Structure 1
Amino acid sequence: MPLGGVIFIVIFIALFGAFLLWVATKTGGKPIYHPIKYEPYECGIPALDKKDTKVSVKYYLTAILFILFDIEIIFMYPWSVSFREFIAAGNGGLVFFAMVEFIAIFVFGLFWLVKARALEWD
């Protein structure tokens, strides 16, 4: 019986999506062509070619590193909340050393970043 429910939902979503597309084509009106609309960014302002607007790769590297270490904290929070339950179940030592290994990998990565000077802006 659960497979029938999944098939029903898939068919319903497909029909409802087709219906919404049909309504959008009937009520949307005729598109207006304007050459500026097809310029980059579609903001209505004519594009100016500037050669000095390149963004340094270090901004992207810093953003990626922030996301990486932020995800580390996201993984540590549920572990710390449920750690007492693991101790009560007798798995406290195993779970603790798994988290120590996880943190050690990230600390090694942080030391590697400092050694490779990936965090320096000069």
Structure 2
Amino acid sequence: MDKPSDASAFIAIIIAFLGVSDFTAANMSEELALQYWLAAVPVRLLFLFVVTGYVYLFKPGGLLGSATITKASIGEPLQNSLVFAWGFFELAAWFWVFTSVRDERRELLKRRQDKILAEKDTL
């Protein structure tokens, strides 16, 4: 990572794109933002689970890491403790976000139902 390369520039663009899309979701109305996060968080969780599981299973000394096939794999640079720690903590944080978003959705639906009942009572 000391020298800029095509791959690092592409990764920087992807990270910037994700950051901008997250800021856009922060400026949406509550219902739209909730729908965005309910769609985006499970995808991120799946991706992080696959990356973390891959690193854990195929790292040197891991369950499947002693085979010669893993030595020639394209993901060999990912098989280290730093990537595993990052993936594990991100997975835990995004799971917490997922449970929070689900609770917010439940509260929003309850408020909407209470509002509808209040409107029916006034009629």
TM-score range, shorter chain: 0.3 to 0.5
TM-score between both structures, scaled by the size of structure 1: 0.33
TM-score between both structures, scaled by the size of structure 2: 0.33
Choose between structure 1 and 2: higher helix proportion: 2
Q: Determine which structure has greater relative contact order: mean sequence separation of CA pairs < 8 Å that are 6+ residues apart, divided by chain length.
A: 2
* Structure index of larger Rg: 1
